[in-house]
Structure 1
């Protein structure tokens, strides 16, 4: 009786692990297949050349920061 109970437990364990392994294998294959389809259907866009030089961007950001600080200080005075 004990041998058959142990055998049944081992059979159920191996069956369950086989099901999980099979599901994960199918999941990995399906994910790879979908990845290839999406990559072929929607390729990455090419990088556009920069429209302005970094110096003017830096000056623009400094002006924005100054305006934000000034607005914050004026709000606290009220």
Structure 2
């Protein structure tokens, strides 16, 4: 078998494969876009942005600060190698 018919068959197989993938991906994009439009049409509107809780205006708790400080000292003592 000469190289020319084999090359011709390889190129036609490549074109068929690339065409199949192109058609499949185009169909996939079309179906996905259609589903997106369908969902946005029939879904309820999204709620507005949630307001963040107000920042705490109470002063720092001294007991809490002491506990955090002790935890930091203990961590540094055990991991200061």
CA distance in 2, matches of 1:26, 1:9: 26
More helix by share: 1
**Pair member with larger Rg:** 2
Q: Give the 3-state SS of the residue equivalent to 2:27 in structure 1.
A: helix
Change (3 A) 1:48 1:18: closer
Displacement of 1:15 in angstroms is 0.4
- Root-mean-square deviation over aligned CA pairs: 3.3
CA distance in 1, matches of 2:40, 2:66: 46
Report the counterpart of residue 64 of structure 2 in structure 1. Answer: 70
CA distance in 2, matches of 1:59, 1:36: 43
Query: Structure 1, unaligned stretches of length 5 or more?
Result: none
Q: Map 1:1-78 to 2 at 5 A.
A: 1-47=2-48, 57-59=54-56, 66=60, 70=64, 73=67, 76=71
**TM-score of the two chains, using structure 2 as the length reference:** 0.63
